[in-house]
Amino acid sequence: MTALRPSRAAGLGPMLIVALIAAALYWPLMLAANVGPAGRTLASGAELECRTALACASQLRNPVVPAPAQLAQGFMRLSTPVTSPLALPYNVGVTAGETLLGLLLATVTGIGLALLLVASRAFERATLPWLVASQTVPVVAIAPMLAVLLGQYGVQGFLPKAIIAAYIAFFPIAVGMSRGLRSADPLHLDLMRTYHASSAQTYRLLRFPASLPHLFTALKVAVTSALVGSIVAEISTISFSGLGKMLAENSRASDTVALWVIMGYGAVLGVTLVALVNALERWVTPWSRR
């Protein structure tokens, strides 16, 4: 996950170069992708303001790849009014909330499981295969079932999505954390033994702090999983808000410009969430050399 760690000023240069290259390639690739559909639209005799396929490539109503101007228009259309529950800012907020709540649930569950896994080999042998199996069930398949199940108990709306996000995010945390709890330096364990430290003291003063690098690596994996989980949950269950609900709506309407804009918001949300985890890591582990 080191690629996701945004480094400070020194790391920004190479990132900007990639951004410039992507921007420079965008226009020709966009034209290449749209010129075929544009030609077919012209041939169908539709009323258009453009004469050639190339000129029409940047003005299609439902382009394969939208032109920058179309993206900008779509962005404005979907982002305003800013406070509207139909606009993207509100819906991004809903998905972000589901993801963060899901991550919180996953962290609590994952750390709890890790403590049990490390404490008891018998527990590990009995449960680990089932934990692995739980992750092989596609989230798209399990989301509607969970939503119905939770609906039976009156849990609706926001919470089922968070729970589905937690369902796929707890696993990397449980694995990373149990690895971390076992990663204490043998010399440190000997040292605690010479102090006649209790098991609780050894966990609190040694095993837990030693596990933090592993925990944060796991959290960076988990937060992106949780985001995928909450979006998939929004798409595959009945939803009235969220990025997934907007994706489902606009894909039914074949509004490709909207889909691209939503995708952009989703990407920014993902990067922001990972940056949040990084900031938390720096705050919690101030001794780190980075």
Partner 1 sequence: MTYTNPSPQTGPAQPSPPPNEPPIVSIRDLQKIFPVPGGETVALKDANLSIQRGEFISLIGPSGCGKTTLLRLMADLEQPTGGGLLIAGRPADEARRERQYGYVFQAPALMEWRTVLKNVLLPLEVMNVPGDRLARAREMLKLVGLEKFERNYPWQLSGGMQQRVSIARALAFDPPLLFMDEPFGALDEITREHLNLELLRLWRETGKTVIFVTHSIPEAVFLSTRVVVMTARPGRIEGVVDINLPHPRSDDTREDPRFFTLATEIRELLKKGHA
Please state the closest distance from residue 281 (CB atom) to partner 1, in A: 13
Of 201, 254, 263, 280, which lies in the binding site for partner 1, with binding defined by CB under 8 A? 201
Which residues, 207 to 266, sit near partner 1 by CB under 8 A?
209-210, 212
> Contact at 8 Å (CB) between 169 and 102?
yes
Q: Is 192 in the site for partner 1 (CB under 8 A)?
A: yes
Q: CA-CA distance, 75 to 93, in Å (whole number)?
A: 16
CB 177 within 8 A of CB 111: yes
Residue nearer to partner 1 on the CB measure, 95 or 211: 211
One of 119, 197, 228, 276 touching partner 1 (CB under 8 A):
197
Compute the least distance from the CB of residue 178 to partner 1, in Å: 19
Question: By C-beta, is 153 or 287 nearer to partner 1?
Answer: 287
Q: Are 166 and 102 in contact (CB under 8 A)?
A: yes
Quote the least distance from Cβ 241 to partner 1, whole Å.
Answer: 41
Give the sign of the dihedral formed by CA 176, CA 182, CA 184, CA 186.
negative
Q: How far is the CB of 9 from partner 1 (least distance, A)?
A: 22
**Residue 194 binds to partner 1 (criterion: CB under 8 A):** yes
Burial label for 86, CB within 10 Å (0-12, 13-18, 19+), is exposed
CA pair distance 186, 205, nearest whole angstrom: 14
Per rule CB under 8 A, count of chain residues that contact partner 1: 20
Max Cα distance, the chain (Å): 88
DSSP 247-267: HHHHHHTT-HHHHHHHHHHHH
> Which of the stretches 58-66, 112-120, 188-196, 258-266 binds partner 1 when contact is defined by CB under 8 A?
188-196
**Contact status, residue 251 vs residue 262, Cβ threshold 8 Å:** no
- C-alpha torsion angle, residues 208, 211, 217, 219 (rounded to 10): -20
Site string for partner 1, 168-187 (x = CB under 8 A): -----------------x-x
Q: Nearer to partner 1 by C-beta: 52 or 201?
A: 201
**Interface with partner 1, residue 190, by CB under 8 A:** yes
Burial of 274 (0-12, 13-18, 19+ CB in 10 A): buried
Binder to partner 1 among 32, 76, 195, 267 (CB under 8 A)? 195
Long-range interactions of 185-193: CB distance < 8 A, separation 24+ = 185/210
CB nearer to partner 1: give 54 or 191: 191
Tokens representing 235?
């798409």
Q: For partner 1, which is the closer residue by CB, 184 or 259?
A: 184
Cβ closest to partner 1, residue 130 vs residue 287: 287
Minimum separation from the CB atom of position 198 to partner 1 (A): 8
Query: Which residues contact partner 1 (rule: CB under 8 A)?
Result: 185, 187-188, 190-197, 201, 205-206, 209-210, 212, 285, 287, 289
